[in-house]
Amino acid sequence: MSKQFHIPWPEEWKKRTSLIHRGDNLVYTPKDFIISFCLYIVTVVACLLLRALDKYGDTSYVAMLFLTDVFLTAVLTDGYLFSIVCAVLGVLSVDYIFTEPYWHISFTLAGFPLTFLVMMTISILAGALASRAKQVEATQRQMQREKMRGNLLRGMSHDIRTPLTGIVGATDVLLEQEDTLTPQQRRELLQSVNEEARWLMRVTENLLSITRIDGENAGVKKSPELMEEVMEGAVSKFHRHYGGIPVQVHLPEEALLVPMDPLLMQQVLFNLMENAARHGETVTCIDLTLRHEADRAVIEVADNGVGIAPELLHKLFDGTLHREEGREDARRDMGLGLSVCRTIVAAHGGSITAENRKEGGALFRISLPLQ
């Protein structure tokens, strides 16, 4: 298994040191400084190596390498600060290290003002474009989070109100008609109250799962966890609620360590299995499969039920299925549970999809990064 090199930036480095620019709160962190410093050092070393290998004294490549350094710094860091500093250092380095007389700065050399002007222009333009692109991307992410939050809140208000209405109605009948109800009728009403209360508990579990996600960064606190242990926990939880449906677990030979919040991922797998049990209608078995694909862990939850209506596939995860007309009780919490799944998986940097199996039934596929 090939592993990518990853630098775990300390959490305190991610804290904001705000700098206001044109009304926007731009964030500068030590990470930006390290990126800028490393790019500058790499550029200087590359130029020195090329000069040592060059037999003809051609230094035309120096300016291009430092321009590339300025551009990359502007793109990979926030705002203009580091790219402008990099441009100034680049001009001074070209003059001091790579222009005769070496190791001497002379502001009167031909071409010095032009080189300085070009580098400063590139740093400002590249910084502006990069900052604008990052701001647009951040705005889009924020809009997506707000849309998702709105769908979740609408779904939860519906899925909480419906069972509460059932509980109030059943208890009203028990209180108002206590003397006229038969023991069987009392038992049916109490069973209805019990079922609605259990449903409220599951909705609350989903709500608590969402609150574990960082609302600002849509991120979670991840640590390497054995995926098979998380799957085992989800299956155990599922069997406590749906003991009559067997779950077949298929695991790879190698153990997979996946960066995740285990409680959140367990909730995702439980939601998918519960969705199959409640909405598959003819489900008699659920398959839970884990496999390793390149640098990702892929988890599949498949059932042998009736599958998913084609017109619903595109909106399974947006939290709006509870508003469908007809079969409302059968679909209760379906859209909410799946939208919670998408929110949790996305917060882990993964993806979730749904499709119908050729042999019948539904298939949900989760892909999570291993780094």
Amino acid at 180: T
- The answer to whether residue 352 scores a pLDDT higher than 90 is yes
Question: pLDDT tens-digit profile of 75-134?
Answer: 788 767 787 788 778 777 877 777 777 777 666 655 667 766 776 777 677 767 777 787
Q: How far apart are CA 291 and CA 298, in angstroms?
A: 5
Percentage with pLDDT > 70 across the chain: 74
DSSP-derived secondary structure for 9-25: --GGGGS--EEEETTEE
The domain locations on the chain are: 11-141, 221-371
Question: pLDDT tens-digit profile of 33-50?
Answer: 888 889 989 988 988 888
CB 82 within 8 A of CB 36: yes
Q: Find residue 354's DSSP bridge partners.
A: 364
Work out whether strand 18-21 and strand 223-226 pair parallel, antiparallel, or are unpaired: unpaired
Q: Residue 142's pLDDT is what?
A: 77
Structure pTM?
0.57
Asked if the 221-371 domain carries CATH number 3.40.640.10, the reply is no
Tell me the two tokens of residue 119: 């580098």
Rounded-to-5 percentages of helix, strand, coil across the chain: 55, 15, 30
Q: Residue 77's pLDDT is what?
A: 80
> Mean of the pLDDT values across residues 201-218?
66
DSSP-derived secondary structure for 95-141: HHHSSSSTT---TTSTTHHHHHHHHHHHHHHHHHHHHHHHHHHHHHH
Question: pLDDT tens-digit profile of 218-266?
Answer: 557 889 999 999 999 999 989 988 888 999 999 999 999 999 988 889 8
CB 260 within 8 A of CB 222: yes
Mean pLDDT of the chain: 78
Q: Please report which confidence band the pLDDT of residue 326 belongs to, taking 50, 70 and 90 as the band edges.
A: very low
